[in-house]
Amino acid sequence: MLFCPKCKSIMMPKKVGAKTVFACSCGHTSEAGVATITESVKKPEQREVAAVEKEVEIHAKTDAECPTCKHKEAYTWDKQTRAGDEPPTKFFKCLKCKHTWRDYK
């Protein structure tokens, strides 16, 4: 595909006598030559996928009794699970048995 150097429109092939030329709607013409269009596609690099060997907790620890194993320490975090005018839900995760529960207070 060729573009006109004057008006930047697409130039279309047109027969003029025995020759084929590229002509634009603005009147500019150029001789038709053999044009090749190549497209290069860059493949993304293959990266190794790292395996997670152990789960790392990023939540704060607090004193809370687990309803399952009665352990006295748990991770805690808040999340807004209801409307914005409602208080957030407080989640807990036991350090010992990994049981997760929530507190709606």
Q: Which residues are catalytic?
A: 85-86
Q: Which helix (H) or strand (E) holds 89?
A: strand 89-94
CB 23 within 8 A of CB 14: yes
Nearest Cα to Cα of residue 75 among 54, 105, 97, 53: 97
